[in-house]
Amino acid sequence: MRGAVLYAPGDVRVEERENPAITAPTDAIIRVSATCVCGSDLWDYRGVNEVTQPTPMGHEYVGVVTEIGDEVKNLAVGDFVVGSFFASDNTCEICEAGYQSRCAHAEFVGAGGAQAEYLRVPLADGTLVATPGTPDDDLIPSLLAASDVLGTGWFGAVAAQAGPGRTVVGDGAVGLLAVLAAKQLGAERIIAMSRHGSRQKLAREFGATDIVEERGDEGVARIKELTGGYGAHSVIEAVGTQESMMQAIRSTRPGGHVGYVGVAHGVELPGEELFFAEVHLHGGPAPVRRFLPELIRLIWDREIDPGKVFDLTLPLDQAAEGFKAMDERRAIKTLLKP
């Protein structure tokens, strides 16, 4: 099969790879219908995370089940499925509490590289959710979004307790879908922090009521100005840098909630500032599986259209250009078709 492999910073190649095979009776193999490039893939692509060996890329996927292990009970060959980047048994206490990304038996599905024609998904019964039928083609981008970028933005909004009240978000792809989530969760006022025309436009389509272009201390001051001097109730951090994390904490009122879903890189939170900030902090790798049934329903019923976040669609063989366009911020998010 064909699959994308990162050889070194900036060097993504699509090449022949061995087809995945069932290795445990709880596995399933899927034929990938659509996959995409994640903001977190760029940490590797830019060399921030060291690349020590050729690494299959991608952890977002939708597709059709082609093979199941002997113990898989809830899925059948031919099912169209959406899954998360972490496999989960969905039965342990952690899963039952809704934290499937930290399942006692969690495995990173992306280890096999989802930017490929086929993918092995461990713990298939607990990881994959079948759609009500074969989706129309135009629903595929949105279903793919549910696999990570929407699921993660949604978790950010839930972790930040977005709802009636105000919400502030970043402007990455996840941030934009956190806007969509905040809107669905009933937030009346949603402030998007963005300096890019195309992203501002999409933020407004997804439900943003205000746009703040300033960053850092000026951004914090602007948020305070917009919220009676108090700061926002709910702030979603979707980047993962020291600057964005501190901006999120400082933009939140005492007693407010920060939901952080940007994978932290080099972040150190100063304890004393955090203590006196008196905010709620919650986040981590999104337990997408918790939200999948509801997200699939909203997409299936065409109540939300998160697929709009993909502003570049390429054949899998052009994965390198897909990474490059995101790295240069020419694209918000790239969908790849195997």
Report which of 21, 18, 10 is spatially closest to residue 46, judged by C-alpha positions.
10
In the complex, the smallest distance separating the C-beta of residue 242 from a second copy, rounded to whole angstroms, is 8
In the complex, the smallest distance separating the C-beta of residue 151 from a second copy, rounded to whole angstroms, is 14
Amino acid of residue 294: E
Nearer to a second copy, 36 or 245 (CB): 245
Could you give the CA distance from residue 227 to residue 215 in angstroms, rounded to a whole number? 16
Binding mask 75-114 for a second copy (x = CB under 8 A): ------------------xx--xxx-xx-x----------
Of 229, 301, 303, 328, the one binding a second copy by CB under 8 A: 229
In the complex, the smallest distance separating the C-beta of residue 128 from a second copy, rounded to whole angstroms, is 21
Count CA atoms within 13 Å of residue 13 on its CB side: 8
Q: How many residues belong to the site for a second copy (CB under 8 A)?
A: 41
Nearer to a second copy, 67 or 107 (CB): 107
Report which of 243, 282, 275 is spatially closest to residue 259, judged by C-alpha positions.
282
Binding to a second copy (CB under 8 A) within 233-292 occurs at: 240, 242, 245, 253-255, 260, 263-272, 274-285, 287
Amino acid of residue 213: E
Nearer to a second copy, 281 or 312 (CB): 281
Give the Å distances, CA to CA, from 323 to 88, 127, 162, 203: 28, 27, 31, 22
Question: Is the CB of residue 119 less than 8 Å from the CB of residue 110?
Answer: no
In the complex, the smallest distance separating the C-beta of residue 154 from a second copy, rounded to whole angstroms, is 15
Nearer to a second copy, 242 or 313 (CB): 242
Task: Output the six-digit token pair for 279.
Answer: 């905010």
Amino acid of residue 85: F
Beta carbons within 10 angstroms of residue 201's beta carbon = 13
Question: Is the CB of residue 156 less than 8 Å from the CB of residue 238?
Answer: yes
Nearer to a second copy, 120 or 289 (CB): 289
Q: Is 189 in the site for a second copy (CB under 8 A)?
A: no
8-state DSSP, 135: P
Nearer to a second copy, 93 or 301 (CB): 93
Which residues, other chains included, contact 28 with Cβ-Cβ below 8 Å and sequence gap of 6+?
22, 65, 67, 68, 69, 72, 75, 81, 120, 121, 124, 128
In the complex, the smallest distance separating the C-beta of residue 100 from a second copy, rounded to whole angstroms, is 10
Burial class of 255 by CB neighbour count within 10 A (0 to 12, 13 to 18, 19+)? exposed
In the complex, the smallest distance separating the C-beta of residue 214 from a second copy, rounded to whole angstroms, is 23
Nearer to a second copy, 31 or 224 (CB): 224
Count CA atoms within 13 Å of residue 77 on its CB side: 5
Nearer to a second copy, 10 or 98 (CB): 98
Beta carbons within 10 angstroms of residue 10's beta carbon = 13
Could you give the CA distance from residue 284 to residue 190 in angstroms, rounded to a whole number? 22
In the complex, the smallest distance separating the C-beta of residue 94 from a second copy, rounded to whole angstroms, is 5
In the complex, the smallest distance separating the C-beta of residue 229 from a second copy, rounded to whole angstroms, is 7
Query: Where on the chain is the footprint of a second copy (CB under 8 A)?
Result: 93-94, 97-99, 101-102, 104, 228-230, 240, 242, 245, 253-255, 260, 263-272, 274-285, 287
